Amino acid sequence: QSALTQPASVSGSPGQSITISCTGTSSDVGSYNYVYWYQQHPGKAPKLMISDVSNRPSGVSNRFSGSKSGNTASLTISGLQADDEADYYCSSYTSSRTYVFGSGTKVTVL
């Protein structure tokens, strides 16, 4: 199972919106609404930001939103803030009853 494809880096200025893509196949992202997004600050454990494509867990800012079209899922961060600077990973359930992570995207706040 190959990793899902994410851009290596995305950047934006404070207050702007950015979108991170996550491209899989018809065996994972394209077939299931079990797509998750995680934020990871340096030296910390990952934190769940979006579950089931577009659901925000309790306590996660509504500036984070998720969507999916075909084999590609997306995470949008609106009103970019300094603390949003982190690594972001997508993950999907697969037809093999396993999970796969994306390659990761480093978000830089300019």
Partner 1 sequence: QVQLVQSGAEVKKPGASVKVSCRASGYTFTGYYIHWVRQAPGQGLEWMGWINPNSGDSKYAQKFQGRVSITRDTSINTAYMELIRLKSDDTAIYYCAKGEGRDSWGQGTLVTVSS
CA torsion, ordered 62, 63, 64, 67, to nearest 10 deg: 90
Specify the residue for token string 């600077």: 85
Amino acid at 67: S
Q: Judged by CB under 8 A, how many residues of this single chain contact partner 1? A: 26
- Could you say whether residue 52 binds partner 1 (CB under 8 A)? yes
- Could you say whether residue 104 binds partner 1 (CB under 8 A)? yes
What residues from 55 to 74 belong to the interface with partner 1 (CB under 8 A)?
57
Q: How far is the CB of 16 from partner 1 (least distance, A)?
A: 25
Which residues of this protein are in contact with partner 1, per CB under 8 A?
Answer: 1, 3, 34, 36, 38, 40, 45-48, 51-52, 57, 87, 89, 91, 93, 96-104
